[in-house]
Structure 1
Amino acid sequence: MKLILTHEVTGLGAPGDVVEVKDGYGRNFLLPRNLATPWTKGGEKQVESIRKARRAREIASLEEAQQVKQSLEARTVRLQARAGQGGRLFGAITPADVAAAVNAAGGPSIDKRKVEIAQPIRATGSYKVDVRLHADVSAKVTVEVSPSAV
């Protein structure tokens, strides 16, 4: 099945890429989540507009990405979440929570799709989270989760 990616999919490609995937993966995962659209000759025209939008959103140069990486790694992001006895959270910390906390802490604006959490954060403590800034640059952000006062 030939598809045009509309969002970044780890291990597959970036928005605007035309990819060939197995029918089940495309029909059951990519298309229902709006991560891709079916490839058509008319859809080829969409590819250029998707790529333009991607270039406008992403960090332009490697040097700029290095500067953003240094500023992210220098700060510790603090999150508060409801927790029960023993520090276990009611729910989990999501990439959207991390992106919002970085923005609230005075950091650069980060897209939640660029945040990669290796293991689900379901307890209080300190964690390392990857943020993909550029194709060659990834920052490790320290996230401290503490119980909320509620």
Structure 2
Amino acid sequence: MKVVLTKDVEKLGSKGDVVEAADGYARNYLMPRGLAVEATQQKIKELKEKEAKQNRLESEKREDAQKLKSKLESEKFVIKVKAGDNGRLFGSVNTKDIADAAAEKGYDIDKRKLELDDSIKSLGMHTVEVKLYDDITANLKVNVKEK
């Protein structure tokens, strides 16, 4: 019996594949568990359309992330904090402060996407990475100034 897999099945195939399976295996195991549906022309067509739509959405997200990356890397974000002698800060600048500075300029950046090894504890220019998409990261230029 020909079936279309709706999820990855070990030793049979991956999601979206049209495979030949034994009748009993398909009816008694794959279909009741939602792992496969019978391969009709309609089902195959629906799966191809769904996959094409998903690929199109992913490419749009990737393009948006590339555009945002170029915009973010051309900006400089200024954060003003209280500092003592020798440029040491009273406290530190963390991911929330950087996300707030980006929000002031109109960028919606989640603080959890910012990759900061340790809090910033000195004045001056610092570079912070932000993960925008799977493999797209942007380097933000953060200038910490004295208030």
Q: Which residue of 1 aligns with 2:113?
A: 114
Q: Does 1:70 align with 2:70?
A: yes
SS of structure 2 residue aligned to 1:146? strand
Which runs of at least 4 in structure 1 moved beyond 6 Å after TM superposition? none
Alignment of 1:125-144 (within 5 A): 125-144=124-143
Which runs of 5 or more residues in structure 2 are unaligned?
1-59
Alignment size in residue pairs: 89
Shift of 1:105: 2.1
Alignment of 1:40-55 (within 5 A): none
Distance, in Å, in 2 between the alignment partners of 1:75 and 1:86 is 27
Shift of 1:76: 0.3
Distance, in Å, in 2 between the alignment partners of 1:128 and 1:95 is 12
Distance, in Å, in 2 between the alignment partners of 1:74 and 1:100 is 18
SS of structure 1 residue aligned to 2:133? coil
What one-letter code is carried by the residue in structure 1 that aligns with 2:112?
R
SS of structure 2 residue aligned to 1:63? helix
Q: Using structure 2 for the length normalisation, give the TM-score.
A: 0.58
CA offset digits 1:14-47 (Å, max 9, x no partner): xxxxxxxxxxxxxxxxxxxxxxxxxxxxxxxxxx
- Is the contact between residue 118 and residue 129 of structure 1 (CA under 8 Å) also seen in structure 2? no
Distance, in Å, in 1 between the alignment partners of 2:122 and 2:100 is 19
Distance, in Å, in 2 between the alignment partners of 1:118 and 1:69 is 20
Q: Does 1:61 align with 2:61?
A: yes
Q: Which residue of 2 aligns with 1:54?
A: none
Q: Using structure 1 for the length normalisation, give the TM-score.
A: 0.57
SS of structure 2 residue aligned to 1:71? helix
Q: Which residue of 1 aligns with 2:123?
A: 124
- Is the contact between residue 102 and residue 110 of structure 1 (CA under 8 Å) also seen in structure 2? yes
Q: Which residue of 2 aligns with 1:89?
A: 89
Which runs of 5 or more residues in structure 1 are unaligned?
1-59
Whichever structure has more helix as a proportion of its residues is: 2
Q: Which residue of 2 aligns with 1:12?
A: none
Q: Which residue of 1 aligns with 2:38?
A: none
SS of structure 2 residue aligned to 1:79? strand
Shift of 1:77: 0.3
Distance, in Å, in 2 between the alignment partners of 1:117 and 1:136 is 17
CA offset digits 1:72-116 (Å, max 9, x no partner): 00000000001001110011101000000011123x201110111
